[in-house]
């Protein structure tokens, strides 16, 4: 019931701010597609650059959608609204509260990714999306939702979350196999960036888009990230650290 309660809260928030949320999910990715995909006519790996770009933009949109849906709101609830005091004394198991937040963030990221898919439908690029695409998008959203939960627990003030986003989320948006391939990156740096969750998501979504088989190692890597940050989330909330 605790999970359902959290999901209902997020659903109410989504319905209330539907147009704001949808518009926010559209603007930046749409600019990427117009400026890079249509404004810069290039060929990447023997295909139109737009075909390379779309899966990357869908992937990063699920990342930013999931992270932003949880991190800022949870941080404000913890530091300023003191809503965690109510969570602590309520009969809702704390792990259900965390899982509800993660699922809600994943769904928001999935929704943002689907918005971009609908926007590119009229372009007729031949890019393919299927059930595995949605599964990977949801899993990627879960990873960044758990990261958002951890960041919101660590944050000391209102500016720490945007600062983390500028230092970590934004660089990943540009470097992790989204706007360009990592083939020409220096040895060592390429492997580190390639192991990041967004890099794995972009690679798998792009493989599906081209009709190729996905690398199951990518799903394993995302699952490991999810397990690690979910464990950290449980540790923070059960230890009452920084709450």
**What's the distance, CA 112 to chain centroid?**
9
The radius of gyration of the chain from alpha carbons, rounded to an integer in Å, stands at 18
Identify the DSSP state of 38. I
Give CA–CA dist 51/208, Å, rounded.
12
In the chain, the number of structural domains is 1
Q: By residue range, what is the domain housing residue 113?
A: 2-239
Give residue 243's pLDDT band: very low, low, confident or very high (50, 70, 90). low
Give residue 21's pLDDT band: very low, low, confident or very high (50, 70, 90). confident
Q: What is the pTM of this model?
A: 0.87
Q: What percent of the chain has pLDDT over 70?
A: 90
Give CA–CA dist 159/213, Å, rounded.
42
Query: 24-38, 39-53, 184-198: lowest mean pLDDT where?
Result: 39-53
Give CA–CA dist 191/203, Å, rounded.
14
Tokens coding 83: 């809503």
Give CA–CA dist 243/237, Å, rounded.
8
- Which long-range contacts does 39-45 make (Cβ < 8 Å, 24+ apart)? 44/180, 44/181, 45/181
Place of tokens 């869908």: 58
Each residue of 63-112: pLDDT tens digit? 999 999 898 888 777 777 666 666 666 777 788 888 998 999 999 999 99
For residues 6 and 86, is the Cβ–Cβ distance under 8 A? no
For residues 123 and 50, is the Cβ–Cβ distance under 8 A? yes
DSSP string for residues in 75-124: HHHHHTS-HHHHHHHSSS-HHHHHHHHHHHHHHHHHHHHHHHHHHHGGG-
């Amino acid at each position: 019931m605790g999970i359902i309660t959290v999901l209902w809260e997020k659903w109410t928030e989504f319905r209330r701010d539907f147009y704001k949320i949808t518009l926010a999910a559209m603007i930046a990715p749409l600019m990427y597609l117009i400026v890079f995909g249509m404004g810069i006519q290039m060929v990447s790996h023997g295909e139109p650059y737009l075909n390379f770009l779309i899966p990357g933009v869908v992937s990063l949109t699920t990342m930013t959608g999931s992270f932003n849906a949880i991190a800022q709101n949870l941080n404000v609830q913890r530091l300023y609204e003191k809503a965690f005091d109510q969570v602590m004394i309520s009969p809702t198991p704390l792990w259900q509260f965390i899982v509800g937040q993660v699922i809600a963030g994943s769904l928001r990221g999935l929704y943002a990714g689907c918005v971009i898919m609908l926007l590119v439908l009229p372009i007729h690029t031949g890019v393919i999306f299927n059930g595995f695409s949605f599964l990977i998008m949801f899993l990627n959203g879960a990873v960044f939702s758990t990261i958002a939960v951890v960041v919101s627990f660590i944050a000391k003030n209102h500016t720490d979350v945007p600062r983390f986003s500028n230092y970590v989320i934004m660089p990943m948006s540009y470097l992790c196999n989204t706007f360009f391939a990592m083939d020409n990156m220096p040895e060592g740096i390429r492997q580190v960036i390639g192991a990041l969750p967004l890099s794995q998501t972009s690679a798998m979504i792009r493989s599906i888009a081209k009709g190729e088989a996905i690398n199951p190692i990518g799903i394993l890597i995302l699952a490991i990230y999810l397990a690690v940050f979910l464990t950290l989330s449980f540790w923070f909330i059960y230890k009452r650290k920084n709450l």
